[in-house]
Amino acid sequence: MTATSDVQTPNTGTILNPATGEVAGQVQWTDPVQIPAIADGLRSAQREWEQRGAKGRAKTLARFAVWLGDHRDEIEDLLIAETGKSKTDAVQEVPLLIMILSYVIKTMDKALAPERRPAPMAMLAIKKIAVHYRPRPVVGIIAPWNYPVANAMMDAIGALAAGCAVLLKPSERTPLTAELLCRGWRESGGPEVLALAQGAREVSEAVIDNVDYVQFTGSSATGIKVMERAARRLTPVSLELGGKDPMIVLEDADVDLAAHAAVWGAMFNAGQTCVSVERVYVLEPVYDRFVEAVLRDVKELQVGAGEGKHFGALINDDQLAITERHVRDALAAGARALTGGKRTEGPGSFYPPTVLVDVDHSMACMTEETFGPTLPIMKVATVEEAIRLANASTYGLSASVFSGDTARARDVALQLECGAVNINDVITNLMCTTAPMGGWKTSGIGARFGGADGIRKFCRQETVVTPRTNVGAGGNYYHNSLKALARMNRMLTKSALSRPRRTAK
């Protein structure tokens, strides 16, 4: 990673629609040298924001939620222009954000309330012990391009609720939507605790160097670099990284439901979703029926940007090239493409929905994150083989299991090495804001959401010990007599060695 002082940042950039090549808008790039001053300004504004308390901050967040609803069409139009998404995919983001806001607004006061803790020994019963949650002054959010609305703001909401200021660095591929969202924050009466840093790697480095907490969403390789950079200042990080999410279809599954789920889970947003279905393991007795049902669904899909299409373009030709390589290499190694298989002719970064069979783990399409509209399907003989292959990955973000017996599916789920498992569904864990969403292995560190933890993660814990009475205070201080110190020592020893009370059955 280069030093920020050596980087020459252009003043403006032009953002192109990957579906049409047309200009979506212009962006003013941030000079990395300006980042320390931006962070200092946020740190100053954060003090008043914290002092508003949870109830005061909730009122501002509620006004922002109303603004999002009122400007939904404007946001979605820009989203489509910036990413080449279909309307079907674009309409998911604002409602998800409003849902998260609604949940956080209702729970933030309780989540941030001081927690009473019991005395660890009888002699400390004269003390009141409370844990307070104090916001980290400035949270840096480095967001990806695949969901410019949801991924930019879903973490920002928790940080703002906690009382932090937020320095948002959207992807340089999708910077326009972030500017619209920040405008909405100001227009809804939000204070100067949300700021943008626009740019690429050198701007990200400057953000990491000047914030008190980093939330990064992106590739595992970049996540490692983010963590290395943050470690220089011991800045804590939360990393939501790549995935190669498996789907297991047992022989007693509802085959039609599983096929519908696999197609939607693999093709939604052109496969550019961290928890998309990236590989499927199907038990031999239902394999042929499953493949047939998948083909039936895939042949109905309409690819294109905007209205009336199922999914749109990939974000750019670089991402399309990864998809092309995975498919090309799989075909060369003996796989078959039952649909698609090569880039769509004409303008735009489009790739058709591609179903691959006769695949195995020697192929990149089964081991590397594709992030494209492909669906590799592998036949397996036993449940044990499906579990072993699902776990044979450096990734561990999420997974899904389909079975007519939910208890059996749960048993399989608890043998999978990942942060979340959906039974008889896909991707749903993304909407379960009461539960943590995080990855194992190289899929990340920490988690987003998780109920109260999704807000508290942006806080530092501060323990405050308050006397109930002054009686006994200073019993082990040096100014006491040797007899008093000996008596205190006996009390400590007795208290520490006493048997714990039995709890009532």
How far apart are the two ends of the chain, measured CA to CA in Å?
A: 59
Helix or strand holding residue 334 (H, E): none
- The pair phi, psi for residue 16, each rounded to 5°, is -105, 145
Which amino acid is it at 101?
L
Which amino acid is it at 474?
G
- Packing angle between helix 72-83 and helix 93-112, nearest 10 degrees? 120
Q: Distance (Å, rounded) from C-alpha 348 to C-alpha 22?
A: 10
Considering 240, 278, 368, 369, which one is annotated as catalytic?
Answer: 240
Contacts of 48 (CB under 8 A, 6+ apart): 191
- Is 179 a known active-site residue? no
- Packing angle between helix 176-187 and helix 150-162, nearest 10 degrees? 40
If you write DSSP's letter for every residue of 380-448 in order, what string do you get?
Answer: ESSHHHHHHHHHSSSEESEEEEE-S-HHHHHHHHTTS-SSEEEESSSSGGGG-TTSEE--EETTEES-E
- Beta bridge mates, 449: 436
3-state secondary structure string across 258-271: HHHHHHHHHHHHHH
Residues acting as catalytic residues: 240
